[in-house]
C-alpha cells in the first residue's frame, strides 16, 4: 500500500492577511517541510494543493501573485500540483484519481487551515475509503469570530471578543471531531520517527 502526504494551502496568500499575526503556528511551513522530506525518503507520494479564487481580487486570486508556496516548500519534478476552488482538495481537482492510480491507501493531511480545508479534506478522504492520518501540528489556523459576529473586524477586536473561538480551541475541536471517526491524529515527530 502506497502512502501519500497531502500539503494543503501552505501558501503566501495567508501571510498577506492581518490575521496571520495571530496564526496558531507561523512556522507551520517548517513542520510541513519535515514531513515532505520524510515522505520523499520513504518513497511516498507528495501532493501539493493551492487554493485559488480567480477573479475575486483577494489574496487567493492567482492574478495577484500570492498563490505560491511559503518559502522553504518546493515541489519536485513528478509531484502532482493541484489548484482547488473548494474547501476540500477533492471536489474541484483530480486528487481522487491521482491517489487511486498510484495505489494509495493512506493519506496524511497537513496544511492551512486546520478546521477548514484540512479537516474537510480528511473527512472526504475517509468517506472515499482512504485511511487518514491528520498531522495536527503540521496544520495551522486562526481565531474564529462567533458566527453571529462581524468577520471583518480588526484582529484585536476579534481576539478581545469572549465569543471568539481561540486557536487552541479550534485545534482541539478538530482533534475531537476527527479522531475515531475520520482520522488518526498524529504529530510530525510520530510520523518522522517511523
**What separation, in Å, do the N-terminal and C-terminal C-alpha atoms of the chain show?**
16
Answer whether the bond into residue 113 is a cis peptide, omega within 30°: yes
What domains appear along the chain, each with residue ranges and CATH number? 2-140+180-192 (3.40.50.850)
At CA 35, angle to CA 29 and CA 38, rounded to 5? 140
Q: Which of 164, 161, 160 lies closest to 145 in space, CA to CA? A: 164
Contacts of 20 (CB under 8 A, 6+ apart): 14, 26, 142
- pTM > 0.85: yes
CB 84 within 8 A of CB 52: yes
Q: Name the H helices within 43-185.
A: 95-101, 119-127, 155-160, 167-178
61 grid coordinates: 486570486
114 grid coordinates: 486546520
**What is the full per-residue pLDDT of the chain (194 aa) written as tens digits?**
899 999 999 999 999 999 999 999 999 999 999 999 999 999 999 999 999 999 999 999 999 999 999 999 999 999 999 999 999 999 999 999 999 999 999 999 999 999 999 999 999 999 999 999 999 999 999 999 999 877 788 899 999 999 999 999 999 999 999 999 999 999 999 999 98
Cα 158 from Cα 124, distance rounded (Å) = 30
Residue 183, phi then psi, degrees to nearest 5 = -160, 165
**Largest CA-CA distance found in the chain, in angstroms, rounded:** 48
pLDDT in tens, 125-171: 999 999 999 999 999 999 999 998 777 888 999 999 999 999 999 99
Question: Is the four-CA dihedral 111, 113, 115, 116 of positive or negative sign?
Answer: negative
Amino acid at each position: 500500500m502506497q502512502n501519500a502526504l497531502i500539503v494543503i494551502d501552505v501558501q503566501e496568500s495567508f501571510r498577506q492577511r492581518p490575521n496571520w499575526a495571530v496564526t496558531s503556528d507561523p512556522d507551520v511551513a517548517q513542520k510541513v517541510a519535515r514531513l515532505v522530506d520524510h515522505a520523499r525518503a520513504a518513497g511516498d507520494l507528495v501532493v501539493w494543493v493551492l487554493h485559488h479564487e480567480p477573479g475575486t481580487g483577494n489574496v487567493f486570486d492567482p492574478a495577484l501573485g500570492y498563490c505560491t508556496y511559503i518559502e522553504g516548500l518546493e515541489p519536485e519534478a513528478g509531484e502532482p500540483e493541484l489548484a482547488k476552488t473548494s474547501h476540500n482538495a477533492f471536489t474541484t481537482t483530480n486528487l481522487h484519481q491521482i491517489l487511486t492510480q498510484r495505489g494509495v491507501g493512506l493519506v496524511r493531511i497537513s496544511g492551512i487551515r486546520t478546521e477548514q480545508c484540512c479537516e474537510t479534506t480528511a473527512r472526504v478522504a475517509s468517506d472515499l475509503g482512504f485511511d487518514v492520518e491528520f498531522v495536527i501540528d503540521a496544520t495551522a489556523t486562526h481565531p474564529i469570530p462567533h458566527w453571529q459576529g462581524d468577520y471583518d473586524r480588526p484582529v484585536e477586536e476579534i481576539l478581545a471578543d469572549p465569543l471568539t473561538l481561540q486557536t487552541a480551541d479550534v485545534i482541539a475541536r478538530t482533534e475531537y471531531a476527527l479522531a475515531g471517526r475520520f482520522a488518526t491524529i498524529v504529530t510530525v515527530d510520530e510520523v518522522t520517527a517511523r
